[in-house]
Amino acid sequence: MNKQRLYINIDHVATLRQARRVTYPDPVAAARLCEDAGADGITAHLREDRRHMQDADIEALALAPRTPFNLEMAATGEMTRIALRLLPYQVTLVPEKREEITTEGGLDLGRDPVRLSACIAALSTTGIRTALFIDPDRAQIDRAAALGVAAIELHTGTYCHRPEESRHLRALQDASTYAASLGLAVHAGHGLTLSNVGPIAAIPECEELNIGHAIIADAVFVGLVDAVRAMRAAMDSARAR
């Protein structure tokens, strides 16, 4: 099976910094360490409320990338303007609610199609690769294909919260096969840890994982380099089986 890309979401390095409004730890330095340890790309979410990543972090990551940079953002006018100025390699569009602790579910692509297609059209004129973060649902996948994006990112949060319910994994497997049959690249992420990543890493059509919180949490105990290497090894061994 082809190697699956590991993009590391470094938002929570910034969460730690913003807890004290100081200058450390620096998420850009963390990104460089992740890359040294084998990350294929770096992901960061610029939220409307700037609770973790700040504009200057995103600028540094997008303007001087060492590996492809994936900007997660809501499809708002402000974020679209930022993406068009910084030209990250990839944008993943996510839903965003001010009061949520983290992204709680996938985009509902039927909800605001005009705003979404305007954002996707603007991004595509500059050649930014665009992905849509959605739940593993065929109707959403059909809409993503109709919107003409390169990729979808499947929301793995429900599977991660209830791994004992096998239907959630089956839904992700089915959605991956279906999306790939429509020509969409398949990414996945949210809530993945060393203990639940295996079955997702083993989905043949899934070419990219976005993992953040668990890697940064493991880094508290083992250091960032070893935390990245452990995730890489867990993915590789699941894929080799």
**Residue 5 near residue 40 (C-beta atoms within 8 A):** yes
What x-and-dash track marks residues 55-94 binding ligand PXP by CB under 6 A?
A: -----------------x-------------------x-x
**Residue 227 near residue 218 (C-beta atoms within 8 A):** yes
Q: Which of residues 31-60 bind ligand PXP (CB under 6 A)?
A: 45
* Nearest-angstrom CA–CA distance, 195 and 186: 21
Binding status of residue 102 toward ligand PXP by CB under 6 A: yes
**Which of 237, 173, 165 has its CA nearest to residue 204?**
173
Residue among 9, 140, 173, 176 that touches ligand PXP (CB under 6 A): 9
Q: Which of residues 175-214 bind ligand PXP (CB under 6 A)?
A: 189-192, 210-214
Radius of gyration from C-alpha coordinates of the chain: 17
Residue closer to ligand PXP (CB basis): 97 or 138: 97
Query: Least CB distance from residue 177 to ligand PXP, whole Å?
Result: 20
Residue among 103, 130, 173, 176 that touches ligand PXP (CB under 6 A): 103
* Nearest-angstrom CA–CA distance, 148 and 122: 12
Q: Which residues are paired to 41 by β-bridges?
A: 7
Residue closer to ligand PXP (CB basis): 28 or 93: 93
What x-and-dash track marks residues 120-139 binding ligand PXP by CB under 6 A?
A: -------------x------
Exactly one of 12, 45, 155, 187 is catalytic; which is it? 45
Tell the burial category of 176 from Cβ atoms under 10 Å away from its Cβ (0-12, 13-18, 19+).
Answer: buried
Tell the burial category of 193 from Cβ atoms under 10 Å away from its Cβ (0-12, 13-18, 19+).
Answer: middle
- Other beta carbons less than 10 A from residue 141's beta carbon: 26
Query: Least CB distance from residue 210 to ligand PXP, whole Å?
Result: 4
Query: Least CB distance from residue 115 to ligand PXP, whole Å?
Result: 18
Query: Least CB distance from residue 159 to ligand PXP, whole Å?
Result: 12
Exactly one of 52, 155, 168, 190 is catalytic; which is it? 190
For residue 143, what are its two tokens? 């809409």
234 SS3 class: helix
For 34, phi then psi, to 5°, come to -60, -40
| 190 catalytic residue (yes or no) | yes
Active site residues: 45, 72, 190
Binding residues (CB under 6 A) for ligand PXP: these are 9, 11, 45, 72, 92, 94, 102-103, 133, 153, 189-192, 210-214
